[in-house]
Structure 1
């Protein structure tokens, strides 16, 4: 069995979990934004403002700050209408989001990241999907990449847009039941979040290191509650892509890091949950490679670059997975 975190991690959020049929008719929503550095101040400001300007007004916006006292004070001064709380547990995205959820008072907790901006209808569509799907533990929305200068690099294969935290080619185009959604655009019933124990403390993004804490949380939440996740593409946000992440070298590093992160997740006895990744590797990516090769033969010189980049990305992810699995085996030994 997986080594699941104790529900006490979020026990202050709610005392008991109620059946889905007892959900409130008009649920209130707390929007939680996690942040950790003043270097992202412009992004934090944009994320907070987009949450405050939703067509469906949230009950509150909670900004959780990860062990950064100066940033904590700055957010409090800049946004007196926002609740600001510190993460006093383990550093990282998981602990910081959990701190925000513990402080939240809404029936639903919706998460944004500090480098995202939500469309005005984002919250309306997320909560509508949750209300209209009693069998859903939570929902997630579509993420558009905001590239430097608004231009997608011509060498970049769209099947790999997950590298920059955006919805990628191969994802559903309409509402669909999915294994997981992303924490940068996620809404979940607060009582279920508490019941599951929140994000796994100590597992996830910390500085340059990254593990798929949102995927791990979604898999665990579905297992504990017996309910599924819903992808709601009409709930849209924009994810900033800084210039440093629009490079080929970052693409390779991020693929390798993703492979290592999935190995770490598999080491939590969830290796059988990697079917989505295998399906993408065996389905959408080969289709994309053939598409770009055909375009190359029709005169699109960048088609060959995209096909080659996809191959390099697969190799980098596979090498990262191998390194991660080796490390996990040694740690277990």
Structure 2
């Protein structure tokens, strides 16, 4: 991949946007996500739709947007790696041509200045990653009374406890994030075997693991969150239920165990220590206070925080035991696909056999 001129000013930055998609059930959401990128005050250099081993969706998108090749404003790609979000992102990274690669969830829409706020932060050449604020859009039109804001990460959104403004962080959150191309030259991309894979157990933390590897490779790297870079993320009815809440918290524990096994507990759990010792106790106290004052949902929120912590802790214990038993981290960092791999819109490209992962962390 070409080197990045660090002296580029925000208006000169070419911003590639990668949207990973996998199901036709989100057709309208995908179109809305692309439209929000097209409407940016700072135009995107390109929008890459990476289809995760779904030939029918690939053909449908190609028919809708036109079978456009390199240089097109919206381009369809087949995931060139194994099934899952990490390999899809790596495919987009390899094919993209911008100095900065931004990632948007396929069921989210970005506010008009989303890319503008990302680009402004990259005026500092030390900045290698910038994330934003993700706001939930509840299917029921309101937050479930029992659902604590401290656990909004369960539904892929910014949670209570993150500092406001533009602040330096350990890691950005993957559904609303951007990276300077140099970040992937240093790290090789997102690890496979740790992130989401369609409708399987909702694992995560692939962006956490990447960011920790990034700061190890470049200790002076600056990673930011700017809460003015806003996207609105849909929360379907199934994810408003307590059963999903508990399952997702358990899966987060599994993922955190993999990350800690790879990079060490000190780095892998540094942010989580403050979260569990300060943010969550304050949330329980608020819930109990609201319950005493007769406000709806207070007791439920306090109970959900306790249940969420217990589920995540259980997942961490199980994940740590599995990692020890396997003798490794349980995931790998493959080389990024070669530029041009999996970039066609033919159905056969989406069915190509996965490339073997190499380079265990």
Decide: shared fold, TM above 0.5: yes
Structure 1's consecutive aligned runs of 4 or more residues displaced over 3 angstroms after TM superposition are 17-20, 22-25
Note the 1:25-36 alignment, pairs <5 A.
26-36=12-22
The equivalent residue for 2:211 is 218
Give the number of aligned pairs: 317
Structure 2 CA distance, aligned partners of 1:75 and 1:308? 44
- 1:257 alignment partner, one of 245, 251, 276: 251
| Separation (CA, whole Å) in 1 of partners of 2:18 and 2:4 | 22
Q: Which residue of 2 aligns with 1:275?
A: 270
Q: Which runs of no fewer than 5 residues in structure 1 stay unpaired?
A: 1-13
Native 8 Å contact 1:137 1:225 kept in 2: no
Matched with 1:71 is: 57
- Please give the alpha-carbon distance, in whole angstroms, between the structure 1 residues aligned to 2:21 and 2:187: 23
Q: Which has the higher helix share?
A: 1
Q: 2:263 & 2:167 partners in 1: Cα distance?
A: 26
Q: Offset of 1:301 from its aligned partner?
A: 4.2
Scaled by the length of structure 1, the TM-score of the pair is 0.91
1:211 Cα offset (Å): 3.0
How does 1:239-258 map onto structure 2 within 5 Å?
Answer: 239-258=233-252
Alignment-derived partner of residue 328 in structure 1: 323
Paired with 1:301 and 1:241, the residues of 2 have a C-alpha distance of: 21
Alignment of 1:184-195 (within 5 A): 184-195=175-186
SS at structure 2 position matched to 1:149: coil
Q: CA deviation at 1:60?
A: 0.9
Distance in 2 between the 1:88 and 1:218 partners? 23
Indicate the residue corresponding to 2:116 in structure 1.
124
Match of residue 229 from structure 2:
235
Who is 1:319 aligned against?
314
1:56-135 alignment runs, 5 A limit: 56-80=42-66, 81-131=73-123, 133-135=124-126
C-alpha displacement at 1:18, in angstroms?
4.9
Are the equivalent residues in 1 in contact too, given 2:128–2:182 (CA < 8 A)? no
Structure 1 CA distance for aligned equivalents of residues 30 and 264 of structure 2:
33
- Once the two structures are TM-superposed, the CA of residue 271 in structure 1 deviates from its matched residue by 2.0
TM-score (norm 2): 0.84
- The CA deviation string for residues 20-74 of structure 1, in whole angstroms up to 9 with x for no partner, is 4x44661111111111111221221111111111111111111111111111111
Which residue of structure 2 lines up, in the alignment, with residue 7 of structure 1? none
